[in-house]
Structure 1
Amino acid sequence: MILVWIIGIIVVLVVLAFIYYHNKFVVLGNRIDNSLSQIDVQLRKRADLVPNLVKTVKGYAKHEKGIMKNVTDARKAFLGAKDMKGKVKAGNMMQEALKSIFAIAENYPQLKANENFLHLQQELSAIEDKVAYSRQYYNDSILSYNNATKVFPGVVFAGMYGAKEKEYLKIPTEAKAVPKVDF
């Protein structure tokens, strides 16, 4: 009789472990999907601000057409991206192009003093902070997921449920470069 109870308890524990790890992988996967969605929201907000910024800067910097084209092309690439990887890549292009616009503003004191430009610059700065936070949250979610799939006994259940290691968002090499400052 005791043997039946022991076997019954073991079966219940095994079933509970299956349920626990299934739910854990689902929850962690949903957190990753949510964090990707948050990155997408912030990148879209930034893309929506770009036309206003370009319009404001165009009036002051008519001969800086190449930079304006880079910003516009980056925005088009973002809006045309089919997957999150493409959106992140286009978002990085846009970030680099926007740096050029703000560098141009240094040459145009009237532009730097323009209230609309200042407002757009502050909004973009706030969005950049949110993008950075969203990317950090995504990578933290990936870390939790990957840890769950690599440690015992999670590694056993990960194999059974087909949960594979996921990739982190990486910063492009050009974004890591320290900007040069000339005095």
Structure 2
Amino acid sequence: MIVTLLVIGLLIFQVIFIYNRLIRLRNNAREGWSGIDVQLKRRADLVPNLVTTVKGYATHEKQLLEEITTLRNQSIAGQTVPDQAKTASELGRSLKRLMVIAEAYPDLKADKNFLKLQEQLSEIENYLQKSRRYYNGTVRELNIKIESFPSNLIARLFGFAKFDFFALTDESDRMVPEINLN
């Protein structure tokens, strides 16, 4: 009788332990997503200032500036993680193209406002990279726990679902840039 009660007590303790671990991992993943969301919002808030500054110098780059504005608006709309990753990736590529175009305008490159915006954008991209790594790490841990025995039984019982990774959606983002020093 006592052995049965001890076994039942041990099983209940194990269920509680696994459940609490799943809760902690899910909250860590949500926190990680919040960090990405904050950085994407910071970048989206910076884009109009950047577009306005460049617009004064590069008037014939209207198509790219409109594309950036459209992507910026999409990035602040509520989306799933894969959709958000795709939009963020596209916006990042467009902003890189904008920086390349800016190289052709010496007055723009020397503009203090543009330099400050460029520095802020670089800082945001660094924070965004760190946030993505943190989020993906917490999602990995949560997903492993959801798929592993015996925690998968508890996860299924209490309705825990796997999270999506924040992944690159364009293979060109994975390619090493070609450097020409000539």
TM-score by length of 1: 0.89
Instruction: Give 1:150's aligned residue.
Output: 147
Give the root-mean-square deviation of aligned CA atoms.
1.7
Q: Which amino acid aligns with 1:107?
A: A
Whether the 8 Å contact between 1:78 and 1:86 is mirrored in structure 2 is no
Q: Deviations over 1:10-31 (max 9, x none)?
A: 1111111111111111111111
Distance 1:168 1:80 in 2: 19
Q: Kindly provide the amino acid, as one letter, of the partner of residue 178 in structure 1.
A: V
Query: Could you list the runs of 5+ residues in structure 2 that have no partner in the other structure?
Result: none
CA contact (8 A) 2:81 2:164 kept: no
The runs of 5 or more residues in structure 1 that have no matched partner are none
Cα distance, 1:82 vs structure 2: 4.1
SS state of the match for residue 168, structure 1? coil
d(CA) in 2 for partners of 1:171, 1:138: 14
- Report the equivalent of 1:174: 172
Q: Deviation of residue 180 (structure 1)? A: 4.0
The two structures have a TM-score, normalised by structure 2, of 0.90
What residue identity is the alignment partner of 1:93? Answer: E
- 1:96 corresponds, among 78, 93, 107, to 93
2:21 corresponding residue in structure 1? 24
| Maintained 8 Å contact 1:40/1:84 | no
List per-residue Cα deviations over 1:104-163 (Å, max 9, x = no partner): 111111111111111111100111011111111111011111221233322332333333
Q: Is 1:132 aligned to 2:133, yes or no?
A: no
Aligned mate of 2:138, from 136, 141, 163? 141
Structure 2 CA distance for aligned equivalents of residues 175 and 137 of structure 1: 19
Distance 1:176 1:81 in 2: 26
> Following TM superposition, by how much is the alpha carbon of 1:58 offset from its aligned partner in structure 2, in angstroms?
1.1
Residues 53-86 of structure 1, C-alpha deviations (whole Å, 9 max, x = no match):
1111111111111111111111121233444443
Code of the aligned partner of 1:17 = Q
* Identical columns (%): 35
1:64 maps to 2:61: yes
Say which of 9, 12, 30 aligns to 1:12: 9
1:79 aligns with 2:69: no
Deviation, 1:181, is 4.4
Task: Tell me the equivalent position of 2:50.
Answer: 53
Higher RCO (C-alpha 8 Å, min separation 6)? 2
1:114 matches 2:111: yes
